[in-house]
């Protein structure tokens, strides 16, 4: 499963899911477990902000952030360089807000100076949204720089760091990210089903103000119910998916045992070697510049004469490797290798590169698997 989430998971994580079930609403031991899990998550996200573990999956965090923060007719700066960045604008519209979109091509990254220009021009903006790693395009946006600008303008920054946290450096607090959203099934390599959301004081205050003006129009996605029930009264707003949290806890434990800086190094090394091997195969990376690439996923242009689904089925059936296709405008044009979390290991990357090269050859593309495998090994 060399896909950009869900990833493969460590056997320890699978075992954790088989742990005897506690009653998450009533068992005091579950409360202590939950507190300690949140502390681990905070270390990984580099934050002292409140952390919510929301049943559902990552997208629930994006929608909940918008539902809870944005008032009807409120302008929101939506910074978009890909499919998920644009998706934020849809959520803003869905909840009655007015997205002011600062748009960049999918194969490029966000330019901080354009974001600053937009903020200078547009007055009355309190909230901005952006995506750190645009998983479909395999790009990594300059979150640190955007966070600095938003902070200078007093803007609340909502970030989708779904496929970057625990793969590449993310400093939630130092980079002024007010709401940061992470997926359990991406670089953390736990099963899908939990959306991880950190919320700053500034973001809570905005939600309180906004709720007084016009009530938040959701029950499940209203983050304020977490503030009022959990953070103020230690009552969970609904029953937790306990088994998924046991798995998430073990996955976080594994990351902390390895040490987060080492985890980043492993990702960087595997990602770079995958990129070099892909180029040695005669393929082209999708991002315009190699510098734009995320170290968690590699997006590759499908070469002429090769059909997307045929290639992915072939590689799975003949070589037992699953790679990812794409969405929207990138569907049929760009495939992806997901080297995040428990996937970011040399033996898995070599296997995937071998399988991709052999499959391309099987389907008539001229390439040398020997060169590809030699290149990846040289860089690992």
Ligand X SMILES: Cc1ncc(COP(=O)(O)O)c(C=O)c1O
List of residues contacting ligand X (CB under 6 A):
5, 57-59, 84, 131, 133, 135, 160, 162-163, 183, 192
Nearer to ligand X, 59 or 101 (CB): 59
DSSP 371: H
CB of 83 to ligand X, least distance (A): 8
DSSP-assigned letters across all residues of 242-307: HHHHHHHHHHHHHHHHH-HHHHHHHHHHHHHHHHHHHHHTT--BSSSSGGGB-TTEEEEEPPTT--
Nearer to ligand X, 49 or 294 (CB): 294
* Separation between Cα atoms, residue 365 and residue 282, nearest integer Å: 9
* Separation between Cα atoms, residue 11 and residue 166, nearest integer Å: 19
CB of 23 to ligand X, least distance (A): 26
Nearer to ligand X, 154 or 332 (CB): 332
CB of 133 to ligand X, least distance (A): 6
CB of 59 to ligand X, least distance (A): 3
CB of 80 to ligand X, least distance (A): 12
199: tokens are 């919320």
Sheet strands (E) in the chain: 50-55, 75-80, 98-103, 127-131, 133-134, 139-140, 156-160, 179-183, 194-199, 297-301, 334-338
* Separation between Cα atoms, residue 96 and residue 75, nearest integer Å: 10
Nearer to ligand X, 164 or 276 (CB): 164
Q: What are phi and psi of 45, to 5 degrees?
A: -85, -5
Radius of gyration of the chain (CA): 21
CB of 226 to ligand X, least distance (A): 19
CB of 260 to ligand X, least distance (A): 20
Long-range CB contacts (< 8 A, 24+ apart) of 312-315?
A: 314/359, 314/362, 314/363, 315/355, 315/356, 315/359
325: tokens are 């296709």
Nearer to ligand X, 57 or 178 (CB): 57
Nearer to ligand X, 162 or 255 (CB): 162
Nearer to ligand X, 267 or 379 (CB): 267
Nearer to ligand X, 164 or 357 (CB): 164
Q: Edge-to-edge strands of the sheet including 156-160?
A: 50-55, 194-199, 179-183, 156-160, 127-131, 75-80, 98-103
CB of 170 to ligand X, least distance (A): 13
Nearest to 32 by CA among 195, 200, 245: 245
Instruction: Please state the length of the chain.
Output: 380
């Amino acid at each position: 499963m060399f896909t950009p989430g869900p990833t493969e998971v460590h056997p320890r994580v699978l075992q954790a899911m088989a742990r005897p079930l506690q009653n998450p609403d009533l068992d005091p031991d579950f409360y202590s477990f939950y507190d300690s899990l949140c502390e681990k998550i905070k270390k990984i996200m580099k934050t002292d902000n409140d952390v919510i573990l929301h049943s559902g999956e990552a997208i629930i965090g994006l929608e909940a952030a918008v539902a809870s923060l944005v008032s009807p007719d409120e302008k929101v700066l939506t910074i978009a360089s890909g499919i998920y960045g644009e998706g934020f604008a849809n959520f803003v519209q869905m909840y009655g807000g007015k997205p002011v979109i600062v748009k960049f091509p999918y194969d490029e990254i966000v330019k901080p100076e354009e974001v600053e220009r937009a903020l200078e021009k547009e007055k009355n903006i309190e909230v901005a949204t952006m995506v750190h790693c645009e998983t479909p395009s395999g790009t990594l946006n300059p979150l640190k720089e955007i966070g600095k600008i938003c902070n200078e303008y007093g803007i609340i920054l909502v970030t989708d760091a779904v496929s970057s946290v625990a793969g590449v450096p993310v400093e939630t607090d130092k980079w002024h990210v007010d709401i940061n959203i992470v997926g359990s099934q991406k670089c953390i390599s736990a099963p899908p089903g939990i959306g991880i959301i950190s919320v700053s004081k500034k973001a809570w205050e905005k939600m309180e103000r906004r709720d007084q003006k016009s009530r938040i129009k959701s029950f499940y996605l209203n983050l304020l119910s977490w503030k009022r029930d959990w953070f103020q009264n230690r009552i969970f707003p609904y029953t937790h998916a306990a088994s998924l949290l046991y798995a998430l806890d073990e996955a976080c434990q594994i990351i902390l045992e390895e040490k987060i800086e080492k985890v980043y190094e492993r990702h960087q090394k595997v990602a770079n070697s995958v990129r070099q091997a892909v180029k040695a195969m005669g393929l082209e990376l999708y991002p315009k510049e190699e510098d734009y690439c995320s170290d968690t996923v590699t997006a590759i242009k499908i070469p002429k004469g090769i059909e997307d689904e045929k290639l992915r089925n072939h590689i799975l059936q003949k070589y037992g490797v699953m790679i990812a296709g794409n969405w929207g405008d990138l569907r049929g044009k760009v495939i992806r290798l997901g080297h995040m979390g428990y996937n970011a290991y040399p033996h898995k990357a070599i296997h995937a590169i071998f399988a991709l090269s052999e499959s391309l050859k099987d389907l008539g593309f001229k390439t040398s698997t020997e060169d590809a495998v030699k290149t990846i090994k040289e860089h690992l």
